[in-house]
Chains A and B, each alone.
Chain A
Amino acid sequence: MTELALDAATLDHEHAQLAHTWAHAPGLLGWLSETDHKKIGLRYILTALCFFTAAGIEAAFMRLQLSRPENTLLNPDLYNQIFTMHGTTMMFLFAVPVMEGMAIYFVPLMVGTRNVAFPKLNAFGYFIYLAGGLFIYTMFALHAGPDAGWFSYVPLSGPQFDPGKRADTWAQMITFTEISALVVAIEISVTAFKQRAVGMSLNRIPLFVWSMIVISFMIIFAMPAVMVVSSFLCLDREVATNFFNRPEGGDPIYYQHMFWFFGHPEVYIIFIPALGYVSTILTTFTRRKIFGYPVMVASLVFTAFMAFGLWVHHMFATGLPQLGQSFFTAASMMIAIPTGAQIFCWIVTIWTGRLTIRTPLLYVLG
């Protein structure tokens, strides 16, 4: 056991050592080796906004093309690439990463810790996300952008109908961004469960942090499905594994099941943080704690569970049995109950609060 250092000189020395440890290294190497969660979080958000802008420009081209019948602004091939890039960018390079950035920035601050649980892993996660995004845009610039839709259904994206490297590009990008998502999910859940300030018991975690914990668990269960299915797609394309080739015993429907087992929870991975924002903004501008905290937390968790039980409603046109469809219709509707309960709790929070009407509150009310 070391002796307590009390004299001023030792304190100064320790202070200098700590300052050195936590200082930002200078230069490019310093930028690359940055592990501060606030910096990494901001990088996620800024990078995601750049991709968002790119997706917006793509959307503008699509609308221009569609502004008149038989327009010749884009040829069919370029149009297919652009709408695939738009969808892929929005889902994989903007919507989820921007939420992850918010989580990385705010969760350590809100649970009262200095950094996320694994700072270097966190930096790795950001760079692999950036690599995935730059990779797919480089391929797009080289006229090898994916062109089978952001969902890349087989067999249209399979070896027979999509020769070249386009669908492989898409599948590879998925692997990059989903590794990044899994990294963030691990960071956030470990940080929130192991590094909370003394006295912050589970029933005192801010709802924003709860929403990020919930999406972290959803990412851990949902993202592997799309990583696996896109890897199967690559295998089918590169080494003829026939996972989705009907004549050889595969089935294109398997692809759809696995894709939407990820795809539907993804919707809630984007939506649930927004619930966290609303709860946080409301409590601030009504000057009271949230009404029905346990109900709010239970609703978030229930929504997350339900989100894994309704992927088939994306496949209602595939001709599945009526009974199965009814089950998924019911599950899709029941998700309105936790959402409704949260809205009711928000209204009561407003009802019993004292409003300070400022811009953030106007956004929430709108």
Chain B
Amino acid sequence: MLLGSDIQNVLHPAGIQASRIGSLWNGYMVVLVTVYVVVVIWMLAAVWRAHRSTAPQVSDAEERPHSITVGVASALTLVTLIGLLIASVATGSAVGTYGDKRSDALEIDVTGHQWWWEVQYPDPEPDKSFKTANEIHVPLNTPVLLRLATRDVIHSLWIPNLNGKRDLIPGRVNKLWIQADRPGVFRSQCAEFCGLQHAHMALVVVAESNEKFQRWKTHQQTAANDPVTPQQLHGRSVFLSLPCVNCHAITGTDAYATIGPDLTHVASRPTLAAGELLNSKGNLGGWIVNAPAIKPGTAMPPNQVAANDLNDLLAYLENLK
């Protein structure tokens, strides 16, 4: 494997857009390596010949045939370039407009934040619309239109296995088509320098069968699990009494702020803080108590929570599957 990993790799396409780009890349590689080899051989032949020459040939008669050679070589360059250009434009057009005429397309809104990804699945019925963070689930063989926006600076979404990159620019909504044709988890990483934690702004795309996707989606559309045990019940009141509610939302409670990630199903996500931490109870606790120590610059403030309260809060959050 060239880059050591299949889950974030342009050369292991998992979708029709990335395949087109991959084919274009391979085609360019073959043509341009050929041109390079021919020119280098030509140059070496010239060196070999001139090294044995006794006097330079500079008369008009001696130069004329070479003028024709240069002319022909330049013309061949032009023809090659036109070929490459047509291939490039055709690929760009196919990748850029894919799915414009498809009625079964799924639309997802992705909003960049310093430094995490907000992912919203809109629905005509407002209460079926839901938000998650740092993960996009898509069904196989379905065109997906990602609508890209940003809350702060410019970010760039690049899922190498699925498509080329597209910037998230203030005041604009950019569009990017993806379509996964094999199941898998593909990694993405912000591709436009966006400040202190640019390196810790990851996203995963989970491509799964339509059945699994529908199950996931239906679950995400439901309200948060109600606390059951006394510990979890107390945990919820801790959550609602702390500054958490200033930024986070949990459907079914009084927390509905939109500054930080939606926590309705936080326990169902594989990572915390945009791929910074695995989603474990210990990591979540550390994150709540002192997030800036883990991810300097993050908007998540440190929180003073009594040990018992923290334990109950974690029990509550861990239940939000």
Given A76-B296, A246-B170, verify A354-B53 contact (CB < 8 Å): yes
* Interface-located stretch among B5-13, B88-96, B130-138, B232-240: B88-96
How would residues 242 to 269 of chain A score, 1 for a CB under 8 Å from any chain B CB and 0 otherwise? 0000110001110000000000000000
Residues B50 and A286 in contact, CB atoms below 8 Å apart:
yes
**Bound CA span A345–B71, Å:** 10
The closest CB in chain A to the CB of B57 belongs to A352
Q: Does A43 contact B (CB under 8 A)?
A: no
Q: Does B73 contact A (CB under 8 A)?
A: yes
Residues B85 and A352 in contact, CB atoms below 8 Å apart:
no
Residues A291 and B171 in contact, CB atoms below 8 Å apart:
no
Q: B93 touches which one: A322, A337, A353 (CB < 8 A)?
A: A322
Q: Does B125 contact A (CB under 8 A)?
A: no
Q: Does A3 contact B (CB under 8 A)?
A: no
Residues A352 and B62 in contact, CB atoms below 8 Å apart:
yes
Residues B154 and A156 in contact, CB atoms below 8 Å apart:
yes
Residues A318 and B89 in contact, CB atoms below 8 Å apart:
no
Q: Does A114 contact B (CB under 8 A)?
A: no
Residues A317 and B164 in contact, CB atoms below 8 Å apart:
yes
Total chain B interface residues with beta-carbon distance under 8 A: 60
Q: Tell me which residues across on chain A come within 8 A of B281, comparing CB atoms.
A: none
Q: Does B303 contact A (CB under 8 A)?
A: no
Which residues of chain B from 150 to 172 have a CB within 8 Å of any chain A CB?
152-154, 156, 164-167, 169-172
Residues A153 and B296 in contact, CB atoms below 8 Å apart:
no
State how many angstroms separate the Cβ of B55 from the closest Cβ of chain A: 6
**Bound CA span A156–B115, Å:** 13
Q: Does B102 contact A (CB under 8 A)?
A: no
Q: Tell me which residues across on chain B come within 8 A of A73, comparing CB atoms.
A: none
State how many angstroms separate the Cβ of A273 from the closest Cβ of chain B: 21
Residues A357 and B51 in contact, CB atoms below 8 Å apart:
yes
Residues A319 and B50 in contact, CB atoms below 8 Å apart:
no
The closest CB in chain A to the CB of B196 belongs to A76
Q: Tell me which residues across on chain B come within 8 A of A291, comparing CB atoms.
A: 63, 66, 70
Residues A333 and B81 in contact, CB atoms below 8 Å apart:
yes
Q: Which of B46, B54, B148, B156 has the most CB of A within 10 A?
A: B46
Name the 6 nearest CB pairs between A and B, nearest first.
A246-B171, A288-B56, A319-B174, A351-B46, A350-B46, A340-B77
Residue pairs across A and B with Cβ atoms less than 8 A apart, 14 shown, are A153-B154, A246-B171, A253-B172, A291-B66, A317-B165, A329-B88, A329-B89, A333-B81, A337-B74, A347-B43, A347-B46, A351-B45, A352-B58, A365-B47
